[in-house]
Amino acid sequence: MTEQAPIVVWFRDDLRLSDHPALDAAAKTGAALICVYVLDDKGSASGVRPLGGASRWWLAQSLRALGKDIGTKGGNLVLRTGKAADALSEVAQTTGASDVYWNDIAIEACRGVTREVATSLSRIGVEHRQFCSDLLIDPSQVRNKEGRGLRVFTPFWKRVVAIGDPPKPLPAPRQIKSGPELASDRIEDWNLEPIKPDWAGGLRDSWSPGEASARARLREFLADSIRGYATGRDRPDREITSRLSPHLRFGEISPRQVWHAAQFAAAERPAIASDINKFLSELGWREFSRHLLFDHPDLAQKNLQSSFDAFPWKRDTKAFKAWARGQTGYPLVDAGMRELWHTGIMHNRVRMVVASFLVKHLLIDWRDGENWFWDTLVDADPGSNPASWQWVAGSGADAAPYFRIFNPVLQGEKFDPDGKYVRRWVPELAEMPSKLIHKPWDATPLELASAGITLGKTYPEPIVDHPKARARALDAYAKTRN
């Protein structure tokens, strides 16, 4: 009897064992498996956006977790660098593999890479199979009459919901039959983690990447925190949202696992049905953003509304630095930017406020903010990040109108009424009374002194005046429209 040839399973943004259709199908053949991850650090040549700093840190931890999980099932994770087509062909040839299996990523540049891989494999007589699990539904299935993707969220999400439940998630294989021994790179040699200086302490304290943590987080969220999500999700001072975004970004959990777990929770506890619906519609925004990216591969570079091409953005390095470092003198903005720097994440409401501040109060191009987020967010997503920035800037599909300008003081008073969030991230304001914490410049000298604050010394004066900045933004917008 001839021995069955091994199968290579190529892991990408799907760093998990459960609901991994490619792994499931490969394991079911009974063949030995060679699990491979390829880091293409020169991804820009293929058009795939190279990861930012915080995401690189996450990737290193996630790969360690995946390697351990594969090990407990009996297999090994082989790490390679370079072009995926070269690395996978070499692995397949060395091991005599008959096939390479992977899950599709519905992003044009990623599909370009898989086309290259497929061509390279067929040249050496190796088969390939591709599966879906990256999204709830493939973008090709949600089209308007002209065959284009939908650009308005509500009809988009109605359509996705009407199509019905996505396929049920698959269990992890019980065993991974190990393939031939193969040399592997070491994660430590990939320079994914910062060393000098090691700025990742806050990330280590805040996160535990990997599939097990992702699943535990989802379980705990649905069991304990979801009640009140629909009304409370806008409050950065409460820990009410799921914090699943980086786990979803790296595919440590799939959107359909989240979908089915949430539907199950709603069926068991009808009292939380409206919270679940809201939560799923937020997952819908992730889906919507990815579908937009599918139709607009240059989403991170090009305004979806071309009228914005003429917008008079300002080059203001000093103001940008103050924003990035959380030194604008607006407490909610500064708290958000410092939370981001320390933990690699920022609450959604605060993301909207800081993004609006950069684009509208400072008139700095949304692409600069998007790039900063790309580098500092652990959940930096090629779809959600540019789509959300364009949404805030007003240049996007289904965007907030440009003339809707968030007032950072009112946003703070509404969504962080006691200043708990600001006190945590801007400790120099910790002693400020709640009624003044979002506008310390309104405090009397006595109030400032008793809170230990000297404006301009211990905490900055506002770098722009809100009413003037608002008027300037509206003026710039009107000129563009004309």
**Contact set for ligand FAD, span 245-264 (CB under 6 A):** 245, 248-249
| Stretch touching ligand FAD by CB under 6 A, among 70-78, 123-131, 192-200, 280-288 | 280-288
Residue 285 annotated as catalytic: yes
Residue 111 or 243 having the CB closest to ligand FAD: 243
Angle at 188 between CA 184 and CA 193, to 5 degrees: 135
Q: Which of 119, 26, 123, 15 is nearest to 67 (CA)?
A: 15
Q: Which of the residues 57, 341, 366, 391 is marked catalytic?
A: 366
C-beta separation of 389 from 368 below 8 A? no
3-state class (DSSP) for residue 10: strand
| Stretch touching ligand FAD by CB under 6 A, among 17-25, 75-83, 284-292, 454-462 | 284-292
Residue 12 or 249 having the CB closest to ligand FAD: 249
Q: Which of 89, 242, 303, 390 lies at the binding interface for ligand FAD (CB under 6 A)?
A: 242
H/E segment holding residue 390: helix 384-393
Residue 389 annotated as catalytic: yes
Is there binding between residue 120 and ligand FAD (CB under 6 A)? Answer: no
| Stretch touching ligand FAD by CB under 6 A, among 127-135, 236-244, 291-299, 300-308 | 236-244
| Chain length of the chain | 482
Angle at 290 between CA 285 and CA 294, to 5 degrees: 145
Is there binding between residue 277 and ligand FAD (CB under 6 A)? Answer: no
Least Å from the CB of residue 320 to ligand FAD? 15
Q: Which of 101, 389, 406, 415 lies at the binding interface for ligand FAD (CB under 6 A)?
A: 389
Q: Which of 133, 406, 143 is nearest to 260 (CA)?
A: 133
Residue 130 or 281 having the CB closest to ligand FAD: 281
Question: Any idea which residue has 């959107």 for tokens?
Answer: 255
Q: Which two tokens stand for residue 34?
A: 């060679």
C-beta separation of 296 from 396 below 8 A? no
Is there binding between residue 411 and ligand FAD (CB under 6 A)? Answer: no
Residue 13 or 379 having the CB closest to ligand FAD: 379
Is there binding between residue 473 and ligand FAD (CB under 6 A)? Answer: no
Q: Which of 291, 293, 290 is nearest to 301 (CA)?
A: 293
Residue 188 annotated as catalytic: no
Is there binding between residue 233 and ligand FAD (CB under 6 A)? Answer: yes
Chain centroid offset of residue 446 CA: 44
Q: Which of 97, 105, 83 is nearest to 12 (CA)?
A: 105
User: Who's near 230: CB < 8 A, 6+ residues apart?
Assistant: 274, 275, 277, 278
Measured distance CA(272)–CA(463) in Å, rounded: 43
Q: Which of 86, 185, 282, 413 lies at the binding interface for ligand FAD (CB under 6 A)?
A: 282
C-beta separation of 173 from 24 below 8 A? yes
Q: Which of the residues 116, 313, 371, 447 is marked catalytic?
A: 313
Q: Which of 37, 58, 259, 285 lies at the binding interface for ligand FAD (CB under 6 A)?
A: 285
DSSP annotation of 134:
S
Is there binding between residue 381 and ligand FAD (CB under 6 A)? Answer: yes
3-state class (DSSP) for residue 231: helix
Q: Which of 9, 27, 292, 352 lies at the binding interface for ligand FAD (CB under 6 A)?
A: 352
Measured distance CA(334)–CA(330) in Å, rounded: 6
Measured distance CA(106)–CA(134) in Å, rounded: 7
| Stretch touching ligand FAD by CB under 6 A, among 39-47, 50-58, 306-314, 351-359 | 351-359
Residue 190 annotated as catalytic: no
Measured distance CA(288)–CA(410) in Å, rounded: 29
Q: Which two tokens stand for residue 342?
A: 């320390």
Residue 348 annotated as catalytic: yes
Residue 54 or 117 having the CB closest to ligand FAD: 54
Least Å from the CB of residue 362 to ligand FAD? 14
Residue 95 or 384 having the CB closest to ligand FAD: 384
How far is the first Cα of the chain from the last one, in angstroms, to the nearest whole number? 77
Least Å from the CB of residue 153 to ligand FAD? 10
| Stretch touching ligand FAD by CB under 6 A, among 40-48, 140-148, 336-344, 376-384 | 376-384
Is there binding between residue 388 and ligand FAD (CB under 6 A)? Answer: yes
Q: Which of 59, 91, 265, 283 lies at the binding interface for ligand FAD (CB under 6 A)?
A: 283
Give the catalytic positions in this structure.
Answer: 282, 285, 313, 348, 366, 389
Contacting residues toward ligand FAD, per CB under 6 A:
233, 241-245, 248-249, 282-283, 285-286, 289, 348, 351-352, 355, 373, 377, 379-381, 384-385, 388-389, 392
